[in-house]
Every structure is written in C-alpha cells, then in structure tokens.
Amino acid sequence: MSLKLPKLFYYLLGSILILNLLQANFTELIFDEAYYWHYAKNLAWGYFDHPPMVALMIKIGSYFFDGELGVRFVSCLLSAGTFILLWLAIDNPNKKKYVPHFFALVFSMTLLNAYGFFTLPDTPLLFFTALFLLVYKKFIEKPSFVLGLLLGVIMAALMYSKYHAVLVIFFVLLSNLKLVLNKYAWLAVITALLCYFPHFLWLYEHDYISIKYHLFERPNAPYNFNKYTLGFLVNLVAIFGLTFPFVYYALAKSRAKDLFTKALLYLTYGVLIFFFISSFNRRVQTQWIIVVSIPMAILVFSYMLEHENIRKWLFRLALINIAIILILRIGLIYEPLFPIHYETHGNKAWMALIQSKAGDNPVVFENSYRNAPMYAFYTGKTSYSLNNINYRQNQYSIDNSEEAVQHKKVLYISKYLDKKDIAFPKDSGSIYYGMFMDDFESFRKLRCIVEDEKFELNDERHVVKLYNPYDQDIALKKLKFAIAYLNEAKQFKELVGVDLVPENAQLMHLSSNDSTLFTFKLPKPKKTDAPKYFKIVISENGLRYGLNSKTIKLD
C-alpha cells in the first residue's frame, strides 16, 4: 500500500472538497443537522437518539466557522478522507490509469455524495468504515500490537458514530473466525470496549434510554409490502442511481480470492440480507444501508479495472448520475431547480417570521425536535420542544432545555391549537399557529414506574411509583393523570382518564427528588378494541398529556 497519490487524484479530490465546502456554506441546514447542532451545544458521551460523534464533529467545526459551514466543515474533510482511504484499499497496479473512473464511481453514489457535505451520523460511519477496512487489510497481512491497538480505537470510533456500526464489525469478524485465536484481535476487542466504556456508562446513567427506544419503544406501523419490502428494494437502486445494474452485476461476479475480499463480500451481503429480513418487520430507511457503499466501491472498482466493457458503461452512466446530482445540489440552494419543496428551503425565512412575533421571548414548539433547534440556530434565541403522547421522546426529553423556558412568557407554536392568535404558514403548505403563555410551566421529566409484570383490563389495582426529579415540590392539583392505550404497532389510539390514589391520603405535593407511591386500576377503553399496550401519562397545567412511562404490554 503506497501513500503516494497521483497528481490527477489530488486535483479531482481538491475540486470535490472545494465544491463540498461551498455547498456546505450556502445550503440551509436540514432538520436533522439542526437537531445535532442542538446536541453539540452540550457535549456529552451520548444522546437520546445517537452516540456522540456527530456532536463532536459539529463542535470542532464551529470553532473554525460560524453558521452552516461550521456545522458541516468536519464532514467535508471526512468525506475527502473517505475517498483517499477507498483508493488506498485497492491494490490493483493499473488503478493509476483510471483515476477519473474511480472518482466517477464514488462521486456518483447518491448518498455518498450527499454525505460529502451534510453532517449526519452516517458521515463518520462511512469514514471510519473505510478506515476500519484499510487497517483490517494490513492487520490480516501481518498482525501486530500496534495494528491491534489501532483497530480497537477505530472500532470504538465506529460505534461512537452510529449504533449500526455493530453490523460492520460483526460481519467483518464473521468472515474470519480464526481471529478468535489471535491475541492481537483480542487486544483490538479489549481496546474497543475500554474506549467505548464512557458511552456504556452514559447509557447506564440514563437507564439505557437510547437502546430501549430503538429496540422497544419506537412505534411501527403494520407490515405493508409496498412501504417495507418493496421500499427496501427501491432503496437498493436509489443509493447507486443509474449505475445500479452494473454495480450489482460486478458485486455478483466478485469472488473471495483472499481474506480481505471475503470481508468485503461478507459485509456487503450481510448488511443487505440483515435489512432485507428487517423489511418484513419495519420500514428500512435508505441511510441504514448506505454503509455498503464502502465495501462495494472497492469491489466494483476492482472489477471495473479487469473488465473493459463494464468499466466503459459504468463510467458513462456515472457521469449522467453526477450531472443529475449536481443539478439537484444547486437546487438545494436555488429552489426552482429542485423537483420538490425540500427541507433546505425556506426555514431561515420562516424562523425569522416567528422571531418577529416572539421578540426575545422563548418559543416552545409542540412536538417538534426539528423546528425547535432550527429556530435556535437561525435566530440565536431560546427554544424548546414540548413532546406529548402524540409524538415521541427525543433529546429535549432528557437534557436541560426545559429549564430555560420555565416561568417565562413564551410563544407556544403548534399545528393543533384551539386558540389561534397567530398563523405561521410554511412554504411547504402546512400552517402552524401560535399563542402567548405568560407563565409557562411544564414537568415533562416526571416518571411513572411500574413494577408489576402482568396487566389486564380488570378491577385489579396496581402500584405505580411517581418520581419527581425536579428541585422543587410539585402540587398535585397541577397534575392530571390518564392511561394512553396503544395498538399492536405501539401507535397511540386513545386517552382515558385514570385516578391515581396516593398511599398517603393527605398527600398534597410530590416531594423534590423523591418517589411517591400511588395505586390505580386500568380504566376500560371507550373506542379501542383490545389495545395491546398502554402508558401512564401526565398533563400539567392543562398542557397535552406527556410521555411519562415506558410502553407496558397488556395481557
């Protein structure tokens, strides 16, 4: 493996890097980027939805640049690094003759292109996957203490990027089971676990909230072939665009001639099969399979080098792909060129409109971890997402954002207000409404904890422990309790009021940082036939009911 790169490689890579930096600077944030920017305001070892790598990237970039470029600067660098790592992983001596073909192939991959400037957890996942494969290639050639240590650090970096990284590590190790007898491979595993320990500790301190949400709490609609399995197959085409027939043909023709190629094939087929099976249970998002772009770029380019006809057609179709992608990239900035209204369009102006009405008062968005950080980013003002039973928990459910709006006059914004003081129409066609609240007070961190394992719709009484994590006592008269019934897909269907009876009949307040025992009976649902799950939920000061317990199964 030579680190010397052809001059043409530098020219093309430099051109792409400049293009990505310009795109990063002039394209408005997408909602997920704003959300991860919110992460980065308070660096931690973990966040509700993801590990912390994406927040660290934004924090570093923001030291160098303000605005959108600060959010995306490190992503642009990692994308360029990914291209270099892919090139270095290819051994064929003829590759220097086909530098344009290499760039045409990788730059034509749709999401690999988009993650060249967007800052999302997949961006570091792609970079560290490429680095992991390159170091693994050297490791299997000649294992050593240094390579074992480095491999362990990279595996931890993968897992700090996105939980899906476990598939990368698993399928590569599965391709070479003899590693269980290699002392340096065990060194890599131990190093990875030690490096990842701070995140394990964060999960423990937060009651494994991320794992519980992704595996157990996430709502999931009933199986639909068109949306799930057919949608997965469409995604397989979408990630490669017009080149997909030749890309998959090259994959099918690739053979495991050595341990490294075997690892590439195991990783590619393993991820594709895993998510194909998953598609019979839930909708597979396109970015979940994007990691296969890394091993497939190596496999397909290696195949291209040996087969002139495939090389010729892949190159032609890749150039058409790139032309389409570049037009769409301009459309991210200049809306008339984009076929639909996209989330990079109009948010800055919309947030300015809201701020013109809110003034310096904080803005509370109902059920929107997307709008709340976007408002804070573009206005520099305080915002908060108040999540209720019609939505889901997110980072705003566990961080200290709620404190910043307590007992303040706030502009409350929702799509579903009864009192519609102010209208905020969006370019996308939706309309939000706003109203001022003079003394906003919420207690969304109140937790209802049940120990019973069996629940039925009968007259049996159950015990619930109500934990108040706040540094103040909370008057019970401010709270109302209800049972939220959910269907088999864990989708909210019906709300029924419930009486929580305190063990202490004289109880008037929930004590600060303490738990109080109540008993309750499950009320009969009025509209829902045979609900499968329920939550215990709380409304404070007349606000819509929150998300105050885990999802509990009904027998």
Q: Under a CB-based contact definition with an 8 Å cutoff, are residues 310 and 246 in contact?
A: yes
Query: From first to last of its 555 residues, what are the pLDDT tens digits of the chain?
Result: 456 899 999 999 999 999 999 999 999 999 999 999 999 999 999 999 999 999 999 999 999 999 999 999 999 999 999 999 999 999 998 999 999 999 999 999 999 999 999 999 999 999 999 999 999 999 999 999 999 999 999 999 999 999 999 999 999 999 999 999 999 999 999 999 999 999 999 999 999 999 999 888 887 788 889 989 999 999 999 999 999 999 999 999 999 999 999 999 999 999 999 999 999 988 899 999 999 999 999 999 999 999 999 999 999 999 999 999 999 999 999 999 999 999 999 999 999 999 999 999 999 999 999 999 999 999 999 999 999 999 999 999 999 999 999 999 999 999 988 777 799 998 878 899 999 999 999 999 999 999 888 899 988 999 999 999 999 999 999 999 999 999 998 999 999 999 999 988 889 999 999 999 999 999 999 988 889 999 999 999 999 999 999 999 998
Q: Under a CB-based contact definition with an 8 Å cutoff, are residues 176 and 303 in contact?
A: no
Query: CA 87, CA 101: separation in Å to the nearest integer?
Result: 12
Do 165 and 18 share a structural domain?
yes
Residue where a domain terminates, one of 286, 310, 336: 336
Termini Cα distance of the chain: 60
Q: What's the domain range around 211? A: 7-336
| φ, ψ for residue 381, nearest 5 deg | -105, 165
278 in any annotated domain: yes
Edge-first strand order for the sheet with 514-521 is 447-450, 461-468, 514-521, 501-502
Do 153 and 27 share a structural domain?
yes
Query: CA 183, CA 144: separation in Å to the nearest integer?
Result: 9
Six token digits for residue 104: 């045409």
CB within 8 Å of 399: residues ≥ 6 apart? 42
CA angle 14, 15, 20 (to 5 degrees): 95
Do 465 and 386 share a structural domain?
no
Residue 109, pLDDT score: 96
1 in any annotated domain: no
Token pair 């897909």 in the structure block, residue? 489
Residue 536, pLDDT score: 97
341 in any annotated domain: no
Do 412 and 534 share a structural domain?
no
Six token digits for residue 426: 């969006």
Residue 71, pLDDT score: 98
Residue where a domain terminates, one of 278, 312, 336: 336
Do 283 and 234 share a structural domain?
yes
Q: How far is CA 143 from CA 166, 171, 446, in A?
A: 22, 19, 52
Do 544 and 488 share a structural domain?
yes
Do 375 and 252 share a structural domain?
no
Do 167 and 87 share a structural domain?
yes
342 in any annotated domain: no
Residue where a domain terminates, one of 316, 336, 356: 336
Do 181 and 287 share a structural domain?
yes
Residue 222, pLDDT score: 82
Do 152 and 235 share a structural domain?
yes
Helix (H, G, I), strand (E, B) or coil at 124: helix
Please name which of 149, 150, 148, 140 lies closest in space to residue 177, comparing C-alpha atoms: 140
Report the DSSP pairing between strands 474-475 and 533-540: unpaired
Q: Under a CB-based contact definition with an 8 Å cutoff, are residues 399 and 387 in contact?
A: no
Q: How many domains does the chain have?
A: 3
442 in any annotated domain: no
Residue 2, pLDDT score: 52
Query: CA 263, CA 136: separation in Å to the nearest integer?
Result: 9
Do 374 and 332 share a structural domain?
no
The 3 state secondary structure assigned to 378-420 is: HHCCCEEEECCCCCCCCHHHCCCHHHHHCCCCEEEEECCCCCC
Do 226 and 182 share a structural domain?
yes
Residue 355, pLDDT score: 97
Query: CA 25, CA 29: separation in Å to the nearest integer?
Result: 10
133 in any annotated domain: yes
Q: Under a CB-based contact definition with an 8 Å cutoff, are residues 437 and 417 in contact?
A: no
| φ, ψ for residue 554, nearest 5 deg | -100, 135
